Amino acid sequence: MSGRRLFPLLLIPFAAFSQPAGKGLTLETVPVHGNVYLIATTLGNIAVQTGKDPGHDGILLVDTGPPGMTPAIVTEIRKLSDAPVRFIVNTSADRDHTGGNDSLVKPGAKLFYQQPEVGIFAQDNVLTRMSGPQSNVPSAAWPTLTFDRGKRFEFNGETVELLAEKNAHTDGDGIVFFRGSNVIATGDIFRTTGYPVIDVPRGGTIQGEIKALNHLLELTVPHAMQEGGTMVIPGHGRLCDQADVTDYRDMLTIIRDRVADLIRKGKTLEEVKAARPTRDYDRRFSTSEWTGEMLVEAVYKTLKAGNL
Ligand SMILES: [Zn+2]
């Protein structure tokens, strides 16, 4: 039996505790590797890093869910640790990933004992978007620790690396690599529940998206039999490994190449859409919120705007 075929078996004991959080929303907390846990919700994933030293360590969260979910998320965190939340990392400016920022950092919210100041990390453009004139995001939710290309620090006994993925899903994407635990939280550059949302008005491009997935593949190592391998937490959907990222990258590369080919043949956007370059993937990845046709339009626009 190959290592790859063993992988689903390894996940069976991980099925941990789950709780309904109202309005049909369910949260499930799953150990990933080392210090890292996944709080999986129907509205997106939150990664939790914990430590073992109560005097020095704390909680680091990757993303905070949509607004209104904080009490349910805190209940899940408290099953893992009593330590205070010290850091939040936002993987983009999307409200389904930043909606709990302000309620988690609010002093006096009494969600955590000895509530310290909570640092919020994100790429520079996340702050630009959140603090811009069009934004109605409260200032308490804005990032306080921003980076351009990346940032590296030690927390909970391991190196945590934040890496910008430029102009992929948006112009503010970042991923989090827990080096010791060997886990990467990707945000919405990678999701198992649908195509990546290439948000062209907010700086997303297909070229940046594929580049980000290739970067992810450089950072990850595959599973070898029962041990090792980098675990990948997508923005939405199930826990993954390198092979899943490879499949996703290949799918998008094929779609990109099909659209590029049609553009070279002089086809208009309507003609490209009519050719349905995503046809064979739509059953798996097209959703009512972000259809194959919407992806094709985003790919077409960004290829037309850049180099083919
Ligand atoms: Zn999302």
Domain boundaries, the chain: 12-135+144-305
Residue 66 CA, ligand 1 centroid: distance in Å: 9
Please give the average per-residue pLDDT across 281-303, as a whole number. Answer: 98
Please give the average per-residue pLDDT across 240-266, as a whole number. Answer: 97
Residue 4 makes CB contacts below 8 A (sequence gap 6+) with 223, 243
Residue 3 CA, ligand 1 centroid: distance in Å: 30
CA distance 262 to 163: 34
Q: Which of these ranges, 57-61, 104-108, 145-149, 173-177, has the smallest mean pLDDT?
A: 104-108
Helix-strand-coil split of the chain, %, nearest 5: 35, 25, 40
Residue 91 CA, ligand 1 centroid: distance in Å: 9
CA distance 155 to 146: 17
Give the CA distances from residue 302 to residues 189, 202, 216, 279, in Å, rounded to whole numbers and listed in that order: 16, 12, 21, 20
Residue 229 CA, ligand 1 centroid: distance in Å: 25
pLDDT: which is higher, 1 or 188: 188
> Tokens 């990032």 label which residue?
143
pLDDT at position 12 over 90:
no
* CATH class given for the domain over 12-135+144-305: alpha beta
Residue 188 CA, ligand 1 centroid: distance in Å: 5
Q: How many residues does the chain have?
A: 308
Residue 153's pLDDT band, with cuts at 50, 70 and 90, is: very high
Q: Among residues 65, 45, 19, 81, which one has the least CA distance to residue 233?
A: 45
Residue 9 CA, ligand 1 centroid: distance in Å: 28
Residue 34 CA, ligand 1 centroid: distance in Å: 25
pLDDT at position 108 over 90:
no
Residue 41 makes CB contacts below 8 A (sequence gap 6+) with 21, 25, 26, 27, 28, 65, 69
pLDDT at position 21 over 70:
no
Residue 265 CA, ligand 1 centroid: distance in Å: 34
Residue 304 CA, ligand 1 centroid: distance in Å: 26
Q: Are 64 and 99 in contact (CB under 8 A)?
A: yes
> In sequence order, which ranges of the chain are alpha helices (DSSP H)?
3-11, 70-80, 95-98, 101-105, 124-131, 206-219, 242-264, 269-274, 279-285, 292-305
Residue 191 CA, ligand 1 centroid: distance in Å: 8
Residue 173 CA, ligand 1 centroid: distance in Å: 11
Please give the average per-residue pLDDT across 24-41, as a whole number. Answer: 92
> Tokens 């594929």 label which residue?
210
Residue 44 CA, ligand 1 centroid: distance in Å: 6
Give the CA distances from residue 80 to residues 48, 53, 75, 269, 272, in Å, rounded to whole numbers and listed in that order: 9, 13, 9, 50, 49
Structure tokens at 306: 């850049």
**Average pLDDT of the residues of the chain:** 89
Q: What phi and psi, each to the nearest 5 degrees, are found at residue 136?
A: -115, 20
Residue 207 CA, ligand 1 centroid: distance in Å: 19
What confidence score (pLDDT) does residue 26 get? 86
Structure tokens at 205: 């491009």
What confidence score (pLDDT) does residue 247 get? 97
Residue 83's pLDDT band, with cuts at 50, 70 and 90, is: confident
Structure pTM? 0.90
pLDDT at position 291 over 90:
yes
Q: Among residues 214, 204, 213, which one has the least CA distance to residue 299?
A: 204
